[in-house]
Amino acid sequence: MNRVEQGRSLLRRWEAAKPTNFCDDDEHLRRTLAFRVGPARLAPVEALLHQAGGDSAGPVSRACALLDRPENLPRLEPWNGIGERTEEVVFHPAFHEVGRLVWRSRVLSLLGEPGNVALHTALAYLWTQNGEVPHGCPVACTAGLIKAIQRCGSDWMRREWLPRLLDPDYDRRWHGAQFLTEVQGGSDVGANACVARPIPGEPGAWRISGEKWFCSNVHADLSAVTARPEGAPGGTKGIGLFVVPRRLADGRPNGVFIRRLKQKLGTRTLPTAEVDFQDAVGYQLGGLEEGFRVMMGVIINTSRLGVALGSCGIMRRAWVEAFTYARVREAFGRRLIEFPAVREQLAEMRALGFAGLSSTLFLAALEDRLTLAGTHPEDDPLFRVGVTINKYICSVDGGLVVHHGIEILGGNGTIEDFSPLPRLYREMPVEESWEGPHNTMMAQILRDALRSKMHDALLGKAEDILLGIRHPVLKEMRDRAAAALADGRSRFGRVLRGDPEAAALHIRGLVHRMARIFQVSLLLEETEHDLAADRPTPLPAVAELFLNRYVVAGYDPMEDAGYGDLVGRVLAS
Ligand SMILES: Cc1cc2nc3c(=O)[nH]c(=O)nc-3n(C[C@H](O)[C@H](O)[C@H](O)COP(=O)(O)OP(=O)(O)OC[C@H]3O[C@@H](n4cnc5c(N)ncnc54)[C@H](O)[C@@H]3O)c2cc1C
């Protein structure tokens, strides 16, 4: 075989080495999920996870590459042939084929039973290894709407809408969207100018007018829309939450007019539009005064968890692509994985991916526990602060991990039809901006910290976990993590007591540390569980690398004679 043929045959070998099932190939997912939800809860859905893992790695992966081509993107057809406004978004047939597989996985129908958010999260994570899928955002929005209606919807909403939103049959199902953002600024929802006017004689029914600037999954059957009832106070206090059906009972548009679809950096297969509401009929969700709270606490928190799991899915895919590649591709007569610099990048990708999935599944399982105990999750300080911080850290890490993956694939990493990595890379800044860009969330965390020391809930949980770790192998790591925690806590306290502008300047650094401490405590907890079960696991090495690189201040790998060996242990399966 000549050199050219040999090079190409290695690429063929790479393609053949990629997993055919994203679930079966992901030991960390299966173990962490079993640890967080318990084997009894997991057993009935194992077959669903297996099926979704195979579909995601196979037909869905192929369809997502096809759908992202410019000629296959969704397009708007606002009028029909006889001049009536129809506001149709037209999709490539593969869009619906993927949707059928995603919906039949029961990723949404599972939410009909309380306590299934962690299982929903695991399924969604498998799908998002293809990025936006293109049903990642629709699944997250529909999940948020389901939970909001379960929480405070009227009897007829539960009767009429819930069964459709929970239907696993894609061709019958209804799906949801959520529209807050207006052109004058998305973060400042209190500046919303959309207006709601009551419809006389129809309690709970309103007419919504105004403009929304970013409307993803714009063709959804039901959209949760923020609007200010006429005469209501300014700021977020006066914001109500309404569910607006896309169509009237006779099939005509319900005063929801799409101006145009946006041309985006990433998530291009998902239609995101600018929309005019012109006296659209909307139905009040919950009491008017609790609208903003339900939107943020139920719907946006669900989407923030969705962004985190989506980022984890992308990190996992980037690792899979790069790891399989590095094991077969050769340069200078060596396989890439033999180069220490490549090994270190791969180890970092793996550690960040593990940490993200661990914190995301922890929070999903926490939501389940709170719901089953009859507590509203958003009233729990650990859940509230945890979801926000986790969305930040996972989406930041997602960009870095995909970037590493592209680098490991070299020039090939930048080529659209060579691997999914360019597409996944373009998705990451969009994920980061969704449901609050980082600085906006930092402002929220700072407000919560100043008002009620909410950050203590996260640090307290990390401390409890660390105190519970007893395994002799982990003692030294536990103590170093605990020292970092004590340091982080005292810095946080100092900053909060100081000048508010300085606090706003430093909050991101503090939150970053806090997120890492939280993640390492979860990794150590899982490691102890694996060690107790006496099974081979890369987790002790992953936890150690993570602790050294991201938690302990002043760690210098150059001063650590065991660093190369540690990197090797992280990469061992
Ligand atoms: C592809 C795409 C799809 C989207 N789909 C939807 C959707 O379906 N529904 C929807 O409602 N929205 C959607 N969004 C909007 C998204 O959630 C917003 O972009 C986001 O909430 C921020 O609003 P903004 O873009 O107006 O930024 P701005 O609010 O103008 O913020 C700009 C910058 O200022 C910073 N900033 C703002 N306030 C503060 C503060 N108090 N302290 C410190 N920094 C601050 C922000 O962090 C950011 O860095 C979508 C966005 C994109 C890119």
Of the residues 187, 236, 302, 395, which should be mutated to test ligand 1's pocket, given the most ligand atoms within 8 Å of the CB?
187
> What Cα–Cα distance (Å) separates residue 59 from each residue in 46, 52, 65, 74, 426?
20, 11, 10, 19, 22
Q: Are strands 176-179 and 222-229 parallel, antiparallel or unpaired?
A: parallel
pLDDT at 185 (0 to 100): 81
pLDDT at 536 (0 to 100): 87
pLDDT at 186 (0 to 100): 87
Question: Running along the chain, 573 residues long, what does each successive block of 10 average in pLDDT?
Answer: 92 97 97 96 96 98 97 96 95 98 98 97 98 96 98 96 98 98 92 96 97 98 97 93 95 94 97 98 94 95 98 98 98 97 98 98 98 96 97 98 98 98 98 96 96 94 98 96 97 94 96 97 97 91 97 95 97 86
pLDDT at 535 (0 to 100): 85
For ligand 1, whether the C-beta of 226 sits within 6 Å is no
Residues 176 and 142: their CA atoms lie apart, in Å, by 4
CB 543, CB 527: distance < 8 Å: yes
pLDDT at 1 (0 to 100): 79
Q: Are strands 205-216 and 195-198 parallel, antiparallel or unpaired?
A: antiparallel
CB 134, CB 89: distance < 8 Å: no
Beta-carbon-side half-sphere exposure of residue 252 (alpha carbons within 13 Å): 7
Residue nearest to atom 36 of ligand 1 (CA): 440
Residues 120 and 142: their CA atoms lie apart, in Å, by 12
Exposed, middle or buried, 31 (CB in 10 Å: 0-12/13-18/19+)?
middle
Topology, domain 176-289: Butyryl-CoA Dehydrogenase, subunit A; domain 2 (2.40.110)
| Residue 312 burial (CB count, 10 A) | 32
DSSP labels, 293-318: HHIIIIIIHHHHHHHHHHHHHHHHHH
CB 260, CB 273: distance < 8 Å: yes
DSSP labels, 22-79: TTTT-HHHHHHHHHHH-HHHHGGGHHHHHHHHHHIIIIIHHHHHHHTSGGGS-EEEEE
Residue spans per domain, the chain: 176-289, 441-571
Residue nearest to atom 16 of ligand 1 (CA): 434
pLDDT at 375 (0 to 100): 96
Beta-carbon-side half-sphere exposure of residue 248 (alpha carbons within 13 Å): 13
Q: How far is the CA of 430 from the centre of ligand 1 (A)?
A: 10
For ligand 1, whether the C-beta of 392 sits within 6 Å is no
Pair of tokens at residue 271: 């239609």
Of the residues 256, 434, 442, 447, which should be mutated to test ligand 1's pocket, given the most ligand atoms within 8 Å of the CB?
434
CB 252, CB 323: distance < 8 Å: no
For ligand 1, whether the C-beta of 184 sits within 6 Å is no
pTM, 2 dp: 0.97
Residue 240 — φ and ψ, nearest 5°?
-105, 165
